[in-house]
Structures are given as structure tokens and as C-alpha cells.
Homo-oligomer: A and B are copies of this chain.
Amino acid sequence: MSFEITKQYIEDIQHLIADNNNKGLHTLLEEVHYADVAEIIEELDTEEALYLIKLLDSDITSDVIAELDEDIREKVLKGLSSKEIAEELNELDTDDAADIISELSEEQKKEVISHIEDEEHAKEIVELLRYDEDTAGGLMAKELVKVNENWNVLTCVKEMRAQAEEVTRVHSIYVVDDRDILKGRLSLKDLLTTSTRSPIKEVFIKKVDSVNVNEKAEDVARIMQKYDLEAIPVIDELGRLVGRITIDDIVDVIKEEAEKDYQMAAGISQDVEADDSIWELTKARLPWLVLGLFGGLGSVFIMEGYEEFMANPEFKRLFFFTPLIAAMAGNVGVQSSAIVVQGLANDIIKGSLFSRLVKEVSLSLISGIVLGILIMIFGLITNMDPLFSFTVAISMLSVIIVASLIGTFVPIILDKRGIDPAIATGPFITTSNDIFGIFLFFYIAKIMLNY
């Protein structure tokens, strides 16, 4: 299956909008999934987008709005009245509604909430707004199916039918006591296979995984992944059932986490996308470039200290090798740090620090010797002085070892101090390794060449 949004298709829609051909639009979009409608809207200008959103049913458009890219959603919401926004939110699950409301100004928040018809729904959304978005509370929805342990299966099925109307997907039925304390769960499968007269107390499963409302989002993701859970109930400090997190929200967390590490490694400090504004992109990229610039200027100073090599017809070639040394130090450092950062993220960095040290040194020795031999061969072919090429090879070997140790241990140390180790990848490692590498290169060369 695959629904292709072609240029032609977008143009057809634009023409229908220009002609105010509502019937044609309804026919064309009738069977289209809201995720596809959202993609279509992202291709239109704001006027056209608003036309479509006001035209289509709010049970579709509410999901469309929830699905939109944040920048585009902002524009669309600006074109809707507080009452119109409230109507959309009325159709949404509490977690999506809370996410959208949290993007509004304080004043508009109040206005929109006051317009939400379903009072219970509004109360739940307000409750969700209290939680930090990076916690279990920020991820959870209030929609869930719960039954009292004192009911029997028949009451339970009746109550559930009513509750299930509100819940898009029923994964588990949670069992609570009279004070709303989470006691266990029932599966739909079990309900289908149990006699209706059985008391719930006797049939429910007493073991149920749950997370606290303040648990960090990434930890929730790790738990749900590890235990292959599709939904997890959220409890408050008293053990009361307050919400439920489903796997589709966790998929987003996992993806964002992995993408964030990748962006950090590439020297992009905020979550940006190719379509963000030039200003957003510059804000995310320029600081790392400035860091790189300072690193480069540091290298200028170091090399000025070894200026005397320039007077020697053979040794002045050392300066030709500085980009090579910097590249090696950078590449090795990034490789080592990426492996450690991924290992830390997946919680698989085990064993003693000493054994890791031995491993990194062995690794870089192997690579360094292979690369050193290649340098020697290059020296032979280009008629370099053998002592000179040997010097370059040995200094490069040392640079590689030091660079890999920095790449390995800086993230580990940051992680131990509670700092996100991903910050130590990319430009940070590259820049510090450039400086260390060039210093070490000239330092060793000076000793070996005895100049």
C-alpha cells in the first residue's frame, strides 16, 4: 500500500479551492487518511490550508492538525478562532490536545480551554499541561479502560463498552481498587475466554508493569522497548492510575533520540530540519563552526612555535602533512566517540575502564601501524627521506592512539557526571583532537628529527 501525493494531485486540489468547488474537494479527499491530508496541507499555502481545514469534518481535521509539522501548525492555528481550535481539540485524544495547547500563548490557552465543550475532557487536558514534556506525564494520555477489582466480568464488559468508545485502541484493561490504585490488568483476550459471572478479583493478572508519572521519557522508551510493551500504565506517587502511554508515542521518542545524537555528531545543536528557516539553521550550526574556528586558530599558534622547520628544505614538508594529521585525529576521535555514545545510549558499555583502555589502544595500534606503513610506501614512491617519512608515520601513530583515547573517555566521563555524552561527539572531538594532534605531531617530529 502506498498513497502517492503527486504534483498533479496538489494542483487539482488548488484548482478546486480556487473555484470554491467544495463538492469536488469532498469527493477527492473522502477516502484519504488524515496523515496524507496533513501532507497535502503542508504543500499548500496558509490560505488554502485554512480553506480545507474549515471545509472538512473536524473528526478528520483534528487528527490532521495534530499530525502537521509544528511551523505549519502554528500558521494554521493563527487563522482559526479560539472556538474553532477548541472544537478541533474536542475530537482529539488528551495527549495530542495537550501538545497542541501547549504551543499557544498563555492567554489563548485559557480562552481555548474555556471553549472546550466536554468539561471532563478539558479538565484532563489541563492536568496533562502540568507535566514536563520529557516525562511520562508529558507523554501519557488520559484515555484508558479501567475496571474495579470488585466488579464481575459482566459489569466489566458493560463498563468497558462505554469506556472503549472514547479509546482509539484498547491494549489492556487496567484493574484498580476503590481508591484508584493500580492493582493489575486484564487482557481483552482473557475477557473473551472467561465466564461472565467470574469476579474480576479472581481472573485479573496481578503483575503489571507501570512507570511513575515523573519518569524520564527516554527511560520509558527503554523500558517499553526492553519488555516489548505496546502500552504502559502511568501511576502517581500514591500508586494511583493516572494515564497510559502507547508505543506509537514511544516510537517518536526513540526516533528523536537517535536523530538528536546524529545531529550532535554532525555539529548541529538543535533539532532542525532541512525546511527550517535560514535563521533557525544558522543558530543551530554557527556555534559549532565558531568552536572549530577557535580550534583552527589554536593550531595556527602551535605551528608558529615550530616555524623553524620551514628553513629546512626537507622538514618544511611537515607543514604539508598537517591537514592529514588533523583529519586522522578527527576521524579516529569521531569513530571512537560514536561507538561509545551509542553503547551508552543502549546501555551496553560494561566491563572495567581499564579493559576498554587496552582495547582502544590495541585497536589504534593496529590501524596506526597499517596507516603508517602506507605513509612509508608513499614516502618511498615520492622520494622522501626515509627518516622523515618514518617520523611522520610514528607521530601519526601516536596521534591516532591519543585521539582514540580522547574519543573514548571524554563521553564516558561526561556520562558519569550526568552530562549528555552526545555533546562530546562531532565538532567538539574533532576540534580538540585537531589541536592535540598537531601539537603532538610537531612535538614528536622535533624529538625524532632532532632539529
Contacts and interface: CB of A to CB of B under 8 A. Distances in A.
Copies in the complex: 2
Contacts of A247: 230, 247-248, 251
B248 A251 contact: no
Given A289-B331, A374-B290, A263 B338 contact: yes
A282 B366 contact: yes
Interface string A287-307: 011101101110110011001
A324 B338 contact: no
B170 A273 contact: no
Contacts of A255: 254, 258
Which of A169, A327, A342, A349 has the most chain B CB within a 10 Å cutoff? A327
A29 interface: no
Given A267-B331, A330-B430, A349-B274, A293 B371 contact: yes
Interface stretch (A99-107, A187-195, A197-205): A187-195
A255 B359 CA distance: 26
Interface stretch (A14-22, A118-126, A219-227): A219-227
A289 B258 contact: no
Interface stretch (A46-54, A81-89, A156-164): A156-164
B164 A192 contact: yes
Given A2-B223, A247-B247, A258-B255, A286 B367 contact: yes
Interface stretch (A108-116, A315-323, A413-421, A443-451): A315-323
Contact of A331 (B191, B281, B375, B430): B430
Interface in A242-290: 247-248, 250-251, 254-255, 258-259, 261-263, 265-268, 272-275, 278, 281-282, 285-286, 288-290
Interface of A: 1-2, 31, 33, 35, 43, 69, 157, 160-161, 164, 169-170, 188-189, 191-193, 207, 209-211, 219, 223, 225-228, 230, 247-248, 250-251, 254-255, 258-259, 261-263, 265-268, 272-275, 278, 281-282, 285-286, 288-290, 292-293, 295-297, 299-300, 303-304, 307, 310, 316-317, 319-328, 330-332, 334-335, 337-340, 342-343, 346, 348-351, 356, 359, 362-363, 366-367, 370-371, 374-375, 378, 425-427, 430-431, 434, 438
